[in-house]
Structure 1
Amino acid sequence: MEKKSFYSNHRSKLQDIWLIPAIIVTIFIGKSIAEKGIATGFIFLILPFAVGYFVMIFFRPRIGIIGFLIYCFVMPYIGKHVSGLQVGLGIEALLFTTLFAVIFYQTNRFRKRHLNNDLVWMSIAWMILTFLQIGNPERPSILGWVYEMRSSTLYWVLTVVLSFQLLNKRTDINLFLNIIIILSLIGALYGMKQLYLGVDAAEHQWLEEGGKKTHILFGKLRIFSYYFDAAQFGASQGHLAIVCIILATGPYSLLKKAWYGIAGLLIFYGMLISGTRGALFAVVGGGLMFLILIKQTEILIVGAIVGFGFIGILKYTTIGNGNAEIVRLRSSLDPKDASLQVRLMNQELLRNYLSTKPFGTGVGTMGQWGTKFNADKYISQIPPDSLYVKIWGMYGIIGFIMWFGIMLYITGKSAGIIWLTRDPILKNQLIALCGGSTGILLCSYGNEVLNTMPTSAIVYMSWVLIWLSPRWDIPAPKTEPVVPKNPKRLNEYDYSA
C-alpha cells in the first residue's frame, strides 16, 4: 500500500490543503497566549462550547435567559482575569441572541399579549425618554450616551421583555431563587478566601492598577469577591441575605429552613467583610418591607423593636468596636461622617448647577462614562455617589420624578399583588423578592447598585416574577349560589353571595 505523505508528487503543492489555515490559526493562538497569558488560551478552549451554546439558544430560548443570569455573576471575575476582554458585550450577546430566538424560532409558542402590561410599558417609556436625551441642549457625547444607556435602560427593557416570555412556569421562581442564592453563597465563600488567604495574582494586579485607592482603607482590604467592586459585592450580599432570611420564615421543612438560614448568615457575613456601609440599608429596607407585607401586627411590633434595637446599638453604643467591619458599618449612621458631608456638598453644587436645567445634562455625563467621554462638562467632575443623584444630574428633575414614580409604582403594585396571594409558599417567595428589591432601591441612595450587575438582573427578573405570580396562585374558592325554597319568590334572595 502506498504511504500517504504530507506533500503530493508535485513538491510545490500540499496534498492536504486544509492544513494551511490550521497552521495559521495555531500560530495565532500560540502568539496570543505568549503575549497575553494563559487566560487567553482558556478563551480559545471554551470558544467552541460558547458557539454551541449560542446555537442551542435558538432551539431552547429559556437557556438564554438563565445563562444571562449566571453570566452576570461571573462576568466581573472573567474581566479581572482576562486582560482587555470586553466582558460587558457578553450581556448584549446573550440578551439579543435570546431575543432573536424568541422572535424567529417557534413564534407560535410565544404570546405578544403577555407583553401588554404596565411593567413593560413603563420600561419602554423610560427607554423613550433615554432616546430623547440624545437631543439634550447640553449636547453630550453620543459615545457616552451609548455606554450609559446600556446599563440604565437597555438591560432593563430586554430583561423584562424576555422574562415575561420565557419565565412562564411555576417552577421558574424556584429555579431563579436557587441560582441567585447558590451563586451569592459562593461569592461569600470566595470573599472569605480573599480575606483569610489573600487575593490571586490577577486580582492583585487589578488593585495595583487603581483598585486599592478604594479597596484598601487603613491597611485593610475591602473584600470584593468575584464582583466588580466591594460596593457592589456588599450591596448584593445584603440583598440576598435578607432574601434568605425571609425565606427561612416560610412554611417549609426544617431542613429547607436550615438551608435558607445558614445561607443567609454566611451571605450576611459576606456583606460585613465588604466594608460597604450602605449595604446595611438593603437589609433594613428589605426587613421593613417583610414586616409590612406579612400583615401580622404582633410580628410587626416585635420585628420593629428588634430592628430599631439593632440600629440603636450601632448608633449609640461602642459594642463591637474591636471589629473593623462593625466599626465601618457603624459609621453609616453617623451624620457627621466625613464621606457623608462630602456627598452633601456635592449635592449642593448640583442643586445650584441644575436649577436652570430641568432635563439635566444628558445621559452619560456623570460617573465613569462622564469622566471618559464628557470630560469638558462641569458636571462630569462631580462624583454622583448615588443612583438617585446620577439620574437627577443626567435626566434633570423631570426625569428623576418620572424614574422615582416608576419605582414607587412597582413597589406599591408588588405589595398589592402579594397581599392578594393565597398560596402560602408562593407568598413567602414573593415577599422575599419584593423585600430584596425594595432594599436595593433604598440602598441605591448611597451607592449606584441598581444599575450594576448582577443586582440589575436580579431585581428586574424579580419584578417580572411578581407580576406573573397570580397565574400560579391557588384559585379563589367558589361561592355557591343560594337556592330559594320557594322559586316563585326570587326577589327575596340575594344571589350575589
Structure 2
Amino acid sequence: MASNTPYLVREQPPKALIYLLLVAGLVAITYAIIAQKLLIAVAIICLPIVILAVAYGFQNPYFVYLLYATYAFFFTTISRYTLKVKLSVGLDVILVYLSVSLLVVFYLKKTNFRLKDAVNIFTLSYIAWIIFILLQLANPHINEEGITHGIRIMILETFVLYIIASIVSNSPKVLRNGLVLVGIFTIIAFLKLMYQRYIGFDSSERYWLYVQEAAKTHILSTGIRYFSYFTDAGNFGTVMGAIATVYTIIGFNTRNRKFAIFYLSIAAMGIIGMLFSGTRGALVVPFAGLALYCLICKSIKTFAITIITGLCIFAFLAFTDIGNGNSFIRRARTAFRPTADASFNVRVQNRKEMAQYLKDYPFGIGIANSIPKLWLKQDLTYEEGTLPPDSYFVSIWIQTGIVGLVLNIAIYLITLLGCCYIVMFKVKDRYLRHELAAFTCTVFGILLSGYTGYAPGMPPTNFIIVAMIAFVMNGAYIDKQITQQKLTINKQ
C-alpha cells in the first residue's frame, strides 16, 4: 500500500492549480452576475458537472447511450423553446462521443461488450441500403443538400447508430433500465399533454402554432390535436401508440407486481396520449402490433384474448357511432371510414399524380427533392409549389423511386422476420420472450404507420425502432444471461 502512495499523489493535480481554477471560476461568475449575463453564470456553474459527466461517459458507454436517448426525445423541445434550428447535430455529437467511449473501453479491455453483437441481420441488411444511397449520389437530379443528407444521415449516422445499439443493448439490466427510462419520458409527455389540455399552450407553443402556422394541422374544426413536447401531433400519436402496445404486453407478462403496475400505468398514459393526439394513422400501431403478437406469442390463451379484444375495439370504432360526442373518439373513428374523410381523398389524388410523375424516374428524383405540382392552363403547364409526400414511405418513394422503396421495405421485412425467428425459437425465458415479442410487434406497427405519417423517420420514433430491434437481435445472449442468473440463485 505504501509503495502506491507516491504514485497516487503524483496523479492528482497540484493544489495551487485547483485553487487557481476555483478563484477564476468565482471571479467569472461574479462578473457575469454583475453584468446580468445570467446564461454565462449558469454555464460556468454547470461546467464542472459537465466535465465530470463527460469524463464518466468515457468510462461508461451505457451512460452516453442513455444521454443519446434523452436528447433524441427532447431536442425538439429545446429547439421550440430556444427558437434554434438544426439542433439535430447534437445527436451526431453524442453519437461520436458514444463511439469514442466504446473504443476507450475496448482498448482498456474493461468491458463486457462483444463486437460480434454488431454483426446481425439488422446491420448487415442495411449495407444494401448504403450501397444504394451511394449510387443515388450519382443521380443527376440530386442537389447539394441531398448529398449532405445522404452521407450524413442515411449512411453514417444511421449505420453507426445501428452498430452501437446492437453492441450496447446486451443485458437484462440494460433492458429493464431502458423500459423504466422510456416510462419516465412517457410520464413527462403525459403531464405536458394534461397541461396543454387543461391550462393551455405556452408562449413558445403558441408561436409555433400561429407564427410558424402549425395551427393549420393542429387546431381543427373537429378539435385540437395535442402534441406534448414532440415535433407534432402525428409523431406524438405514433410514439404513444407504440408505448401503449409495448407496455400493455409487458405489463401483463412480468413476474414483478410493482413493475407490472408501473408498466400498465404507462400503457394507460400511452392510450390517452394517442387518442388526444388526434392522429388516426397512429391507431395502426396497436392494431397491427397486437395482430402480429397473436401469431408469435405461442400461447393459445393470449392469442384468444388478444383477438377478441382487438375485434371488439375494431367493431366499436368501425361499426358503431357510440361516443361520437367525444371529438377524440369521433376523429379516431374516421380512420375506419377513410373515404368519407376529405384529407384522405386529397392524399389519394396526390399519390395518383406522384405515380404518374415517377413513371419516368424508377430511381427517384433525388434525395431531398420534391415533385413539382403542375397545372395545365390554356395548353401551357405551370408549376405551383410541390406535391407533399405526406408520409415516410411516400417520401422514400419520391426520393429513391420504386427501386428504393422496394429495397427499403425488403430490408425492414427481412429484419422483422429475423426478429420473429429469434423470439419464437431462440428465447427460452417466458418473460423475456414476451418483452422481445412486444418490441418486434411494435416496430411492425410503427413501420405500417409510415404509410400515413412521417413518424418512422423522425426522432424519437426512429431511435425507438433501432433500440427495440437491437434488443431483439441480442435476445439469445440476454436469454443466456437470465438462465445463468437462475442457475446461480438455485445453487445458493
- Range of TM-score over shorter length: 0.7 to 0.9
The 5 Å alignment of 1:25-174 reads 46=46, 49-84=49-84, 86-107=86-107, 108=109, 109=111, 111-138=114-141, 140-147=142-149, 150-174=152-176
Q: AA paired with 2:229?
A: Y
Measured against aligned partners, the alpha-carbon deviations of 1:438-484 in whole angstroms (never above 9, x if no partner) come to 1101111110111111111111011111011101225999xxxxxxx
2:439 pairs with 1:436 = no
Q: Which residue of 2 aligns with 1:328?
A: 331
The 5 Å alignment of 1:266-415 reads 266-336=269-339, 337-366=341-370, 381-415=386-420
Question: How many angstroms apart in 2 are the aligned matches of 1:231 and 1:301?
Answer: 31
Question: How many angstroms apart in 2 are the aligned matches of 1:127 and 1:43?
Answer: 40
2:190 pairs with 1:188 = yes
Contact 1:251–1:424, Cα closer than 8 Å, also in 2: no
Q: AA paired with 1:221?
A: I
Q: Which residue of 2 aligns with 1:452?
A: 458
* 3-state SS of 2:137 partner: helix
Q: TM-score, normalised by structure 1?
A: 0.82
Question: How many angstroms apart in 1 are the aligned matches of 2:402 and 2:170?
Answer: 37
Measured against aligned partners, the alpha-carbon deviations of 1:91-127 in whole angstroms (never above 9, x if no partner) come to 1110011112223554244544332333212223322
Q: TM-score, normalised by structure 2?
A: 0.83
Q: Which residue of 2 aligns with 1:6?
A: none
Shift in alpha-carbon separation, 1:189–1:24, aligned structure 2, 3 A: closer
Question: How many angstroms apart in 2 are the aligned matches of 1:423 and 1:445?
Answer: 34
The alignment covers a number of residue pairs equal to 446
Question: How many angstroms apart in 2 are the aligned matches of 1:123 and 1:32?
Answer: 48
Measured against aligned partners, the alpha-carbon deviations of 1:102-156 in whole angstroms (never above 9, x if no partner) come to 2355424454433233321222332232232111122x22224424665545443
Contact 1:387–1:445, Cα closer than 8 Å, also in 2: yes
Per the TM alignment, residue 25 of structure 1 is displaced from its structure 2 partner at its CA by: 12
Q: AA paired with 2:166?
A: F
Q: Which residue of 1 aligns with 2:206?
A: 204
Contact 2:391–2:452, Cα closer than 8 Å, also in 1: yes
Shift in alpha-carbon separation, 1:247–1:112, aligned structure 2, 3 A: closer
Question: How many angstroms apart in 1 are the aligned matches of 2:188 and 2:65?
Answer: 21
The 5 Å alignment of 1:251-266 reads 251-266=254-269
Question: How many angstroms apart in 2 are the aligned matches of 1:460 and 1:300?
Answer: 27
Question: How many angstroms apart in 2 are the aligned matches of 1:208 and 1:80?
Answer: 13
Shift in alpha-carbon separation, 1:88–1:44, aligned structure 2, 3 A: farther
Question: How many angstroms apart in 1 are the aligned matches of 2:30 and 2:349?
Answer: 56
* 3-state SS of 2:235 partner: helix
The share of aligned pairs that are identical, in percent, is 27
Measured against aligned partners, the alpha-carbon deviations of 1:192-221 in whole angstroms (never above 9, x if no partner) come to 111011122211222122221211112843
User: Over alpha carbons, which structure has the higher Rg?
Assistant: 1
Per the TM alignment, residue 366 of structure 1 is displaced from its structure 2 partner at its CA by: 3.9
Q: Where does structure 2 lack aligned partners over 5 or more consecutive residues?
A: 1-22, 372-381, 484-492
* 3-state SS of 1:226 partner: coil
* 3-state SS of 2:336 partner: coil
Q: Give me the CA root mean square deviation.
A: 3.1
Question: How many angstroms apart in 1 are the aligned matches of 2:168 and 2:286?
Answer: 30
Measured against aligned partners, the alpha-carbon deviations of 1:157-199 in whole angstroms (never above 9, x if no partner) come to 1221112222322211111111112212321221111101112
Shift in alpha-carbon separation, 1:343–1:212, aligned structure 2, 3 A: same
Question: How many angstroms apart in 2 are the aligned matches of 1:48 and 1:85?
Answer: 27
Question: How many angstroms apart in 1 are the aligned matches of 2:51 and 2:64?
Answer: 13
Contact 1:366–1:379, Cα closer than 8 Å, also in 2: no
Question: How many angstroms apart in 1 are the aligned matches of 2:156 and 2:323?
Answer: 43
Contact 1:283–1:439, Cα closer than 8 Å, also in 2: yes
Per the TM alignment, residue 52 of structure 1 is displaced from its structure 2 partner at its CA by: 4.2
Contact 1:366–1:380, Cα closer than 8 Å, also in 2: no
Q: AA paired with 1:465?
A: F
Per the TM alignment, residue 401 of structure 1 is displaced from its structure 2 partner at its CA by: 1.1
Q: Where does structure 1 lack aligned partners over 5 or more consecutive residues?
A: 1-17, 368-376, 478-497
Question: How many angstroms apart in 1 are the aligned matches of 2:422 and 2:123?
Answer: 17
Q: AA paired with 2:433?
A: K
Question: How many angstroms apart in 2 are the aligned matches of 1:288 and 1:29?
Answer: 63
Question: How many angstroms apart in 2 are the aligned matches of 1:116 and 1:29?
Answer: 56
Q: AA paired with 1:433?
A: F
